[in-house]
Amino acid sequence: MRGPTDIDGEILESELFCLDLLEIKNPAFVKDLDVAQMEALSADIREFLIQSTSKTGGHIGPNLGVVELTIALHHCFNSPEDKFLWDVGHQTYVHKILTGRANRFDTLRQHDGLDGFPKRKESEHDVWETGHSSTSLSAAAGMAIARDIRKEKYHVLPIIGDGALTGGMALEALNHIGDMRKNVIVVLNDNNMSIAPNVGAMHNVLGKLRTSGKFKRAKKDIEAAMKKIPTAGDKIAGAAERIKDSIKYLLVQGTFFEEMGYTYLGPVNGHDYNDLITNMEFAKKVKGPVLMHVVTTKGKGYQPAESDRIGNWHGTGPYKIETGDFIKPVGGPPAWSAVISEAVLELAQTDERVVAITPAMPVGSKLEKFATAFPDRFFDVGIAEQHATTMAAGLAALHMKPFLAIYSTFLQRAYDQVVHDICRQELNVIIGIDRAGLVGADGETHQGIFDIGFLRGIPNMTIMMPKDENEARHLVKTAYDYDAGPIAIRYPRGNGLGVNIDTEMKAVPIGSWEMLSTPVDVAIVTFGTTIPMAVEAVMELKRQGIQAGVINARFIKPLDKAMLHDLMKREIPIITVEESLLKGGFGTAVLEFAEEHGYDQAVIRRIGLPDTFISHGSVEMILAEHGISALGILNTIQKILPEKQIRA
């Protein structure tokens, strides 16, 4: 942009001006921009986002779609006095730029760098933290109540995506806000996508509204026309109101939001400043709740992202701007998600009872092949984890074999359904816990480090995790054959190890561990992603004359009691290692076993993650920081066996 500006406040020259995004400190300057200047700012921000995320990766598609919407919000409202609650937390890059954080975008989603989601500690303009969807409306209800009790005056604006409205919590809050008649402006960002294309009846309602024309404009014209009708008492006035309602129903099929108590504005063109500003200014004057239906295009302004209808450009790693090609290794081992889903598909080919369910993550969980092969047995329920979980229970109650593919971080949203509907009834649901363990750049809200702790204490639950792709297939077969209740198989983000795959899948005895090397001086008991580092530590110990053994504890629950008895009777130190929280984790289960069976002299040391939320950064860096590495294992053993003079 061209010409001088005071980026902390007002525009010094109202016509053409120059703006360095890296120097922005305060969004107040946006208020003084005219439409042409805001359009120029939009172009600058899009170029900045494309350049920046091509190096760091990030949620480029969602943010390109909300450039004009975000600028218009800061133009019409006063953040942080007015409360912006970004339900889709990964759509806040433009908001971060306008609130003075562009100069940190080279650290985006990196260790100690700029968070990829709203972060209250990062800026006063981030008033609500969101990584999981569908929470903003409930929080907005709370803030509106607090505002009114204190007799304060400001706007509360939850900005929620159309995909998030499939979440039960969002619908509950939508209903309550409408019933309370609180002054809340709900900005519905409708881009016809969540991560993958949206599904469900709510999606269809919004589709009808998108094509219904400017309902509010038509309604206003109707009201103006009625004022010209001579009033002859309540009877004619009542008839006029009925006529108005009839035309409303004719204009808009299923006036869902109006019936819930909202003033509906839209559809609004989310890339047209005149349309956005006109409706926002009107919304500020309305008494009671408003729903402003803004239609945007995900990936707007960058052809590879804009044309994506699958979800590949929702969140990316680095990419080549010119071609849109992602920068990642070619070939290599398959993704863990693909290994699991293809094993399920293989079983489905011979058993029509096998069905697959996902809450809006068909691409991430690699279920596209299953969906293509068996469209009548594949169910994407949208962002509705609770529904997906109980739906799986209903299928299992009638002797189907449901496979519920769900990220660890999203499974915690369905905890009651796992306890009440699945485990309590001993239903044979196979829960595929995707992204189990650390996930890196997505940070605190997405780390899959809680599921062991919250599942292990539930009766009837079996939990397992494979050491490699081959064992993963066998554990899928184990889950398929199991009929004694729910069974969960955990698997991490990323790719496998590249091991050879057995042709035939074979079930593994429930609760059985595997001794990968014989322990003489010390035993390292671990599972999944931490087995390679344990093997590395054993090799180093062997060079130093210490014979350590590695136990593949592929069943986290139930424990292999026979092997634990054997290990503890050897009276050697036991080191447990896990890529999850220590509190209530696998190591705690081993301690509980020792206490229950009277091994009071057992030397047990646990390695895992501390009692805190783990921030974003590379998985390797986070693991090393917390001693979850070959070096960390050596250091722990050195403290136990100092007489051996271990060189860590």
Q: Is 138 annotated as a binding residue?
A: no
Residue among 40, 76, 116 nearest 268 (CA): 76
Q: How many whole angstroms separate alpha carbon 469 and alpha carbon 337?
A: 10
Q: Is 480 annotated as a binding residue?
A: no
Contact status, residue 637 vs residue 541, Cβ threshold 8 Å: yes
Q: Is 233 annotated as a binding residue?
A: no
The DSSP element (H or E) to which 579 belongs, if any, is strand 574-581
Contact status, residue 623 vs residue 629, Cβ threshold 8 Å: yes
Q: Is 65 annotated as a binding residue?
A: no
CA angle 337, 165, 202 (to 5 degrees): 100
Tokens describing residue 433: 């816990």
Q: Is 482 annotated as a binding residue?
A: no
CA 88, distance to chain mean position in Å, is: 9
Tokens describing residue 44: 């600058």
Q: Which residues are catalytic?
A: 298, 385, 413
Q: Is 132 annotated as a binding residue?
A: yes
DSSP code for 555: E
Q: Is 163 annotated as a binding residue?
A: yes
Residue among 307, 278, 210, 269 nearest 69 (CA): 269
Residue among 642, 641, 623 nearest 632 (CA): 623
Give whole-number Cα distances, 610 to 325, 418, 563, 613, 639, in Å.
38, 25, 27, 8, 19
Q: How many residues does the chain have?
A: 648
Q: Is 552 annotated as a binding residue?
A: no
Give whole-number Cα distances, 229 to 232, 233, 239, in Å.
9, 12, 11
Burial class (CB in 10 A: 0-12, 13-18, 19+), 146: exposed
Residue among 507, 548, 566 nearest 633 (CA): 548
CA angle 246, 214, 228 (to 5 degrees): 55
Q: How many whole angstroms separate alpha carbon 102 and alpha carbon 48?
A: 9
N-term to C-term CA, the chain: 56
Q: Is 428 annotated as a binding residue?
A: no
Q: Is 95 annotated as a binding residue?
A: no
Which parts are annotated binding residues for thiamine diphosphate?
Answer: 90, 131-133, 163-164, 191, 302, 385
Binding-site positions: 90, 131-133, 162-164, 191, 302, 385
Binding residues for Mg(2+): 162, 191
